[in-house]
Structure formats: structure tokens, C-alpha cells
Amino acid sequence: MDHVALSLAVFLGGLVSGFSGFAFSAAAGAILLHVLQPIEAIPLMMICSIATQATSMVMVRKFIVWADLLPLLSGGLVGLPIALFLLTVMEPTAFRVAFGIFLASYALLMCHRPGTIAAPGSGGGAPAANSIVGFGSGLVGGLTAMPGALPVIWCQWRSVPKERQRAMVQPFTLLMQIFAVAMLSLSPGMINRELIVNIGFAIPALIVGTHAGMALFGRVDDRKFRLAILVLLFVSGCLMLR
């Protein structure tokens, strides 16, 4: 294993996730999936993503509105097991490519969207709508390793301010990943010595990248943050087309 490549991958993932609150796997996976087999890379990315999400949660904990977040979480917890089951009976490549096209197209469209759908400061949406978004996000997350993509789009569409957006997306993504790792850990051989060694090499770069991303988040306004998120969605969508 090339530990320089591993460190660079998790640094980039931590930087992106620390700034945006999602997309660790999209950034890190662009490198890791070229130097590791998917069965080795995916658990490593999940565990590192959990670590960076938990670290940067300190920035948004006071903005969490549980009345908005709980319906999102409940929907996700229903959708994720269905997706993990589907992985055992189907090849997810076609779905991943289709979702990648959707993400890239959405980002390009929204870059040219005049005005806003909702005024800044809007709430988190109706509970029923949040549950539907959460369910879809659980399905998508299980099949693409990007559970935060649909909640980000949901918040972007309604022009939710950056702190409120992260206060919905980040706890949701964190819980979905913990749940997924818990389920995957039941598979024989998923947690092994090689994974533990790789995590040990990843930790320093992950810490540096996460804190650099958190510093960047504090330096941008809502308009620049929205544009950066659209760029991340576009790049993430393109990476799914590989």
C-alpha cells in the first residue's frame, strides 16, 4: 500500500468534509479506489468520514433543530437497510452512473438559477418532506456512499443558510455512516489488520485536512459557500461516471 497516496487521499477528504460537511468519500475515493480494492477502500473511507464528521460537528451543534432533523434521520434509517440489501442482489454501477449524471446536471443548472426559492433564514422544511428526503438519501447513500448529497440539494434548493444546512446534513451523514459501518462490520473479514494499519497512517493527515477545512468554512459567506457546494456536487457527480 502506498501510504503517501493514502495520506493525500484522506487529507483531501478531510479538507472537503471539514469545509462542506459531506463528500469525504468523493474526494478521498478519487485516489483511494486507484490504490486499494473497493472492499478495502470503502470501510476505510467510512471510518475516516465518521471521524472527520464527528470532529467538525463542534461548529454546528448549536444550529441543530431537532424538529427538522429527526424526520430526516427516521427516513434515512428506513432507506439505508433497503439499499444495503439491494447491494447483495444487484450491481449498483448503473444506478451510480445515473445518480452521477443527475448530480452534475443539477449543479450546472443551479449555477445559473436566477434568484432563490426561499429567503435566507428559512426553516428546515415540513416533517413529511424531510422524511421523504431522508428515505431517498438512505437509499442513495447505501448504493453510492454519498448519503449527504440529497439533503444538501434539499437545503440548497431552499437557500438554507450555511450553518443551518450543515446542522441538517452533517448529523444525518454521520448517523447514516455509523449505521452502515455497524451493519457492514457483521460481514466476516470486513474489520482486519490491514484496515487498522491503514487507519493508523490516515489519522495525522485526516486531522490536518479536517481542521483546514473547518478554517475555510469560517471564512466564506453564504453565497460563496453555495457556489463551492455546487462545484463539489458537480465534481462528485463526474467522479461517479468512472
Question: Is residue 121 pLDDT above 70, yes or no?
Answer: no
Structural domain including 183 reads: 3-239
124-157 pLDDT, tens digit each = 568 899 999 999 999 988 888 788 899 999 988 8
As to burial, measured by CB atoms within 10 angstroms (0-12 exposed, 13-18 middle, 19+ buried), residue 151 is buried
Please, what sign has the CA dihedral across residues 186, 91, 136, 109? positive
158-181 pLDDT, tens digit each = 888 888 899 999 999 999 989 888
Q: Which SS3 state, helix, strand or coil, does residue 117 take?
A: coil
- For residue 236, give the amino acid letter: S
- Best CA proximity match to 73, nearest among 159, 144, 148: 148
What is the DSSP code (8-state) at residue 190? S
CB 99, CB 144: distance < 8 Å: yes
Mean pLDDT of the chain: 85
Between 64 and 91, where is the model more confident? 64
Q: What percent of the chain has pLDDT over 90?
A: 36
Question: Is residue 232 pLDDT above 60, yes or no?
Answer: yes
Q: What percent of the chain has pLDDT over 70?
A: 92
Question: Is residue 117 pLDDT above 50, yes or no?
Answer: no
Question: Is residue 60 pLDDT above 80, yes or no?
Answer: yes
Q: Give Cα 147 distance to the centre of its chain.
A: 5
67-109 pLDDT, tens digit each = 889 999 999 999 998 988 887 787 778 888 889 899 999 898 8
How many domains would you assign to the chain? 1
What pLDDT sits at residue 229? Answer: 92
> Which whole-number Å values give the CA distances from 134 to 56, 80, 164, 206, in the listed order?
21, 9, 16, 27
Across residues 1-11, what is the average pLDDT?
86
Please, what sign has the CA dihedral across residues 157, 100, 199, 229? negative
CB 73, CB 134: distance < 8 Å: yes
What pLDDT sits at residue 1? Answer: 52
What pLDDT sits at residue 186? Answer: 76
